[in-house]
Every structure is written in C-alpha cells, then in structure tokens.
Structure 1
Amino acid sequence: MTLEALQSDLLSAPKLDWDFLLDAPLRIVIIILGAIVLNIVMRLVIRRFSAAVAKGTVGSEKKSEHSKFSSTVLESQRTGIEPTVIRERRAQRAKTVGRMLSSVTTILISVIAVLMVLDQMNFNIAPILASAGIVGVALAFGAQELVKDYLSGFFMVIEDQYGIGDTVDLGEAVGEVEDFGLRKTAVRDLTGTLWHVRNGEIMRVGNLSQGWARAVLEIPVKYTTSMETYSEITEAVTSSLSANPDVAAAVLETPEISGVQSLSAEYRVIRTMIKTKPNLQWMVERAFRAELTNEFDKRGIDFPIVQETVLRSLPGMSGPLGSDDDNRPEAGGKQPQRTDTAPSPLPSDDEIRATTDETAVDSGDGEG
C-alpha cells in the first residue's frame, strides 16, 4: 500500500463523535465514580463513629481508657460491672450498628446511582419508579413483621437493653442470651431449651445482668428468737461470708434486715436483702442460707415447721375423727354421749344423704 492510498483511507474514515463521548458516557462514568467515592467516604465515617461508640467517647472529649475520669471507669463505678465487660458490650453494640448503617448506606447509594445512569441513557424511569412504589407497598404489607423485627432490634442495640451473656426475662423465655441479632434473639433457659424470639414480639425486657442485683431471703424464725438475736446471727453470717473471696467479691453492701414480712401461729418470716453484682445474687443466697443454717445449729436454734397437719379426735373416740368404724351407729357401735360442753359430732356421709332424701320427699309431697 502506497502512502497516497493510506492518506486517502484515513481521510475517508468516519470521524469520532467527541461531542457524544463528552456527553452521556462521561456523565455516566462520573456518576459511577461519585457513587463509589461517596460509599467509601460514608463507610469511613461510619467506621469512625463505631470506633467512638466502642470507646465511649461519642459527644465528649477523648480520654484515656485508664483515666479515672473516662466514661468506662465512671460507668463501672456506677453499675459495679467490670470495665472489661463494659468495653466488650460497647464493641459488640458498635459493630452491630456499624454493620447495619454500612449496609443501608450502600443500598441507598447504589439504587440512586442506577436510577441516575438509566436516566442518562434516555430510559424512561417513570414506570420503574411507579413499579417500585407498587412493589414497595406490597412488600410493606407482606414484610411488615420483618420490618418491625429489624427496627425493634436496631433500637434494642442502640439503647443497650441487653447483650450476649445477659440473663433476661422476655416473657415466655427466661434465661441467658446466647445470640442477639437485629431480627431475633436466642435465649437458653435453665432446662437447656434454646428459645428463638423475634425482636418485634418482645413487649418488655427484664435484664438481670445490668447494674446490680439484690438477693432477697425470707427466713422463717420462731417467736422464741428475738429480732436482736437474729440481727447478731446476720452479722456473724456476714463475717463468715467475708472469708470466702468469691462471695465477698460478689457482695456490694452489707445485708439489710427489712423486718417482719408475714406472721403465722408458729413463726414469723423475716426478710433480709443483700445488694450484689449482677447474675451473682443466687450464689450469694445459697451461701447465706448455708452459713445461716450453721449459725443456727451453733446456737441451738431450730427452724420452725412451715407446714403442720393436726388431727383432732372427739371425746370418747379411740382414734381420729371418722377413723373408727365400730363407733358408727349402723355398725352397732356405741355412739358417744353428748354433753353441753362437748362439741357436736360432725354428720356422716349417710346422714347427709338421708337428710337430702327426706328434703326431696317433703318437696314432692308439697307439690302433690
């Protein structure tokens, strides 16, 4: 091919439409790059926010974790929870919130970018928006329970109502939280049953692991044991429990004797309360009862009989009421003599039936 032929081919070739390339394609590229950059920036912001939530420095000046004025230390002093546990709960809550915010942000940015690209390609997005509205309404009716579960779980995480390892009361499910997500909560009860509870169905939450707990003991004591003696026994039990490092670390305050809770003919019930660390009140209750039993034994004090059955017999009867068949009139036995001071004997089943039959016969005669 000669040089003249090559120049002729180049001159006859179609020219590139630079105006078209600088119009829609360039805007589409800018939209895609802008969406990617915006998504990266939003993820960085969310990550920094999650890190601040995990450290407890949101809305306050940054302080060292080991400072005595840090939020972790102050919360630990207020609630009695170890700082390590507080940091773990915050990290878990921040991770959950950050993951959800990142997903929602990515979805929103992607949907908006796709619609803008379709608009630049001269697609009529009005039917798409209308269809999306109809589908959204249908999904709102069909997945309203799912949306309710996610929203409830999100606010539970934000408000730190409970976390993994907490002992909670969710109504039907009571036990330790083994898994906690935005849609459902898994609770393991005392018998080992794993309950899966949807967050949208949780109407109230009783958290036994936040802040502090209280061991409530109701001790039956005879009337021969005075309140002063019981107070001395409680002090002795407290002194004995302080020698146990596990129990001593769980108790936050000395036992408080609230007073007499109830009265009966044989004993009175005295309520004693002990403020403890969360989830340790049952251990303190068991230890207190064990030491209280030992202290009662040392002082020679017996616990009263809580339930008692009394069998009483009538005068002239050899056994309890209704146990001796020979005393019945139909058996030929001798009926006990009634006196003015003796109580009247209770009617037997046959006497009750005979009285009922006579009443029915009299009513029939009156009607005739």
Structure 2
Amino acid sequence: MGDLWENLMLAAVVITVALLLRVFLALVIRRTVRVLADRVHDRNDDDLGFRARVLLAKASGVAADRQRQRVETLGSLLRNVVDVALIVVVVLTVLAIFGVPMGPLIASAGVGGVALGFGAQSLVKDYLSGIFMLAEDQFGVGDLIKVGDLTGTVQEVTLRVTKLRDTTGTVWYVRNGEVLTLGNVSQGYSTAIVDVPVANDEDPSRVQEVLRAALAGMDKEPEFSDQLLEEPSVLGVGSVTAGTMTMQVLLKTGPNQQWGPTRAVRERAQRALADAGVRGPILAGPYGPGSAT
C-alpha cells in the first residue's frame, strides 16, 4: 500500500512539473511571438535607391500584418509541439513509475510510427514544407507568385496547402510539398521592357532623343509617382528586322505595378513619334518592303 501511495505521489509530482513547464514554455513562446510580431521585416533589396525604399515603405502596414500573421502561426505550431511532447513524456514516465514494461510498448510504438510514416509521408512532407515556407517568409497573402505553370494571387496559406486565384478567377490548391520552384513577383520591385517599333531607315539617335523627351519626368508625375521607382530609361535599338527597327524602354516599378506605366509609355511614345514625323514600321509587300500592293 505504501508503494502505491509513493507511486501516486511521484506521478503527481511528474504531472505538476509538466504543467509548470508547459506554462513556462507557453509564456516564453507568447512573449517571443509578441516581440517578433512587432517587428516589420525589411525585405527591400540592397540595390534599390532611396526613392525606391520610400515608395516600398508605404506598404509597411501590410508588411506588419503579414509578419504578425506568420509569427502567430509559427507560435501556434510551437505550442502544439510542446503539448504533444510533454504529454508523451508524462505518459511514459507515469507508466514507468507504476512498473509497466516499456520495452514492448516502445517497440509497438516504433513499428506503428514506421507504418504511419510510410503511409503519411506525403502529408508530413507537405507540413514540413509549409513550416519552412512560413519561417522563411517566401510569400504571403496578397502576393502574386508563380508555381510551375500556375500564376496567381495568394488567397490563403496553411501548413499543408496554398490557395491561389489566377487571372480567370479559378482557385487552385497547391500542396506545399509539391512546390519545387517558386517565383514571387511581389517582392522588391518589377521591371518591364517596352518595345517601340519604327521604320528601319529612321535615325536611331533622333528616335532616342524623341523618346527621352517624351518620357522625361514621368516618374515625378502624380499619376505615376507611386509606381515608377525611377525615370523610364531608353536603352536603344533592341532589334532590326525587315522594315522594322525596335527601340526598347526599360521601366522599374514597385512590385507588380508595371502594367499601367507600360501602357502609358506606349501611348506617349506613339504620340511623340507621330508629332516628330518618325515613321512606323515599313510593311512588306509582295515585291519587298514598301512595295505597293
């Protein structure tokens, strides 16, 4: 009878220590999550200038929410891991205190774990990949990403799957363990090359001067100041084919904000070239370029 009470006392001590340890670890995790959630993770690229950093800093509120969501998810995962580990340790310790043979039990658990591991290896792979995606902050809700042949906006991120919505409105569910290559369009900045075709016998220097004059100061205009990180750069001749010389203009914008400035550059270039008398591409007729039909 004395041994029974002694074992009960030891079991009570083990459970009490486990509960205290759980409270302590939960407090540490909670405080760590709070500290990390208050930090805005700076993801600006080192090669961005002051203007680019100022423009990208306007999204600091979104970045803070995203940081908080990511850290809270990892904190919840850590709390679950701590609970499971403590429960397993307490159960095994209490059984050992009461003299239950642990060898067969551990062996059975090992065999069951191996069988479960083979059967659920894809699920474990998905969860591990999801943990690393969240820990490394590879993407977040609202980001435009490319996964294989899919391109879409992230709608939801969980440890097992990522939900995307493409341009047609279709929602795709991508298992995290199946993501081998991933491109995030919403990180840092975006660039775009605008092709401006003109006749191949026009003076390239004159065409470049017309384009530079038409696009000068575009990044300081109110309509584009929040999108363009710098003034559009006229690169020069990109290619020359039969009847066509293509001039190229480089745009550097905030993440996934290149579409509006690209259309504006094409429109301004077309108007400026027409006003300057620069001819468009020479259409090839049945007897050669410029032949009458």
TM-score (norm 2): 0.86
1:302 CA displacement: 4.1
In the alignment, the residues of structure 2 paired with residue 298 and residue 38 of structure 1 have an alpha-carbon distance, to the nearest angstrom, of 78
Label 1:21 to 1:124 Cα distance change in 2 as closer, same or farther (>3 A).
Answer: closer
SS at match of 2:224: helix
In the alignment, the residues of structure 2 paired with residue 28 and residue 109 of structure 1 have an alpha-carbon distance, to the nearest angstrom, of 14
1:26 CA displacement: 0.9
Deviation by residue 1:129-158 (Cα, 9 ceiling, x = unmatched): 111101110111111111111111111111
1:193 CA displacement: 1.0
- Residue 222 (structure 2) aligned to one of 237, 241, 245: 245
2:33 maps to 50
2:270 maps to 293
1:267 maps to 244
Does the alignment pair 1:187 with 2:181?
no
Deviation by residue 1:191-235 (Cα, 9 ceiling, x = unmatched): 111111111111111110001111221221223443333333333
Label 1:295 to 1:190 Cα distance change in 2 as closer, same or farther (>3 A).
Answer: same
Deviation by residue 1:245-268 (Cα, 9 ceiling, x = unmatched): 242211011222223222112011
Does the alignment pair 1:77 with 2:83?
no
1:96 maps to 73
2:48 maps to none
In the alignment, the residues of structure 1 paired with residue 16 and residue 146 of structure 2 have an alpha-carbon distance, to the nearest angstrom, of 49
In the alignment, the residues of structure 1 paired with residue 180 and residue 285 of structure 2 have an alpha-carbon distance, to the nearest angstrom, of 44
Does the 8 Å contact 1:183/1:198 carry over to 2?
yes
* Seq. identity, %: 35
Does the 8 Å contact 1:79/1:212 carry over to 2?
no
Counterpart mapping for 1:176-325 below 5 A: 176-239=153-216, 241-242=218-219, 244-304=221-281, 308=284, 310=286
Does the alignment pair 1:32 with 2:8?
no
By relative contact order (CA 8 Å, sep 6+), the higher-ranking structure is 2
Does the 8 Å contact 1:79/1:211 carry over to 2?
no
Bigger radius of gyration among the two: 1
Where in structure 1 are there 5+ consecutive unaligned residues? 1-16, 57-64, 66-70, 313-319, 321-368
In the alignment, the residues of structure 1 paired with residue 4 and residue 106 of structure 2 have an alpha-carbon distance, to the nearest angstrom, of 28
Label 1:237 to 1:42 Cα distance change in 2 as closer, same or farther (>3 A).
Answer: farther
In the alignment, the residues of structure 2 paired with residue 27 and residue 39 of structure 1 have an alpha-carbon distance, to the nearest angstrom, of 18
2:134 maps to 157
1:74 CA displacement: 7.7
In the alignment, the residues of structure 2 paired with residue 93 and residue 261 of structure 1 have an alpha-carbon distance, to the nearest angstrom, of 43
In the alignment, the residues of structure 1 paired with residue 99 and residue 170 of structure 2 have an alpha-carbon distance, to the nearest angstrom, of 58
1:309 CA displacement: 5.5
In the alignment, the residues of structure 1 paired with residue 34 and residue 267 of structure 2 have an alpha-carbon distance, to the nearest angstrom, of 46
1:130 maps to 107
Q: Which structure's residues are more often strand, by fraction?
A: 2
Output the aligned Cα RMSD: 2.6
Where in structure 2 are there 5+ consecutive unaligned residues? 46-51
In the alignment, the residues of structure 2 paired with residue 244 and residue 124 of structure 1 have an alpha-carbon distance, to the nearest angstrom, of 79
Moved over 4 A (4+): 71-76
Does the 8 Å contact 1:222/1:303 carry over to 2?
yes
In the alignment, the residues of structure 2 paired with residue 248 and residue 225 of structure 1 have an alpha-carbon distance, to the nearest angstrom, of 32
In the alignment, the residues of structure 1 paired with residue 34 and residue 223 of structure 2 have an alpha-carbon distance, to the nearest angstrom, of 34
1:161 CA displacement: 1.0
1:21 CA displacement: 6.2
SS at match of 2:180: coil
Does the 8 Å contact 2:66/2:140 carry over to 1?
yes
1:185 CA displacement: 0.7
1:178 CA displacement: 0.6
- Residue 105 (structure 1) aligned to one of 78, 82, 100: 82
Does the 8 Å contact 1:215/1:284 carry over to 2?
no
Label 1:246 to 1:36 Cα distance change in 2 as closer, same or farther (>3 A).
Answer: farther
In the alignment, the residues of structure 2 paired with residue 112 and residue 79 of structure 1 have an alpha-carbon distance, to the nearest angstrom, of 52
In the alignment, the residues of structure 2 paired with residue 269 and residue 122 of structure 1 have an alpha-carbon distance, to the nearest angstrom, of 85
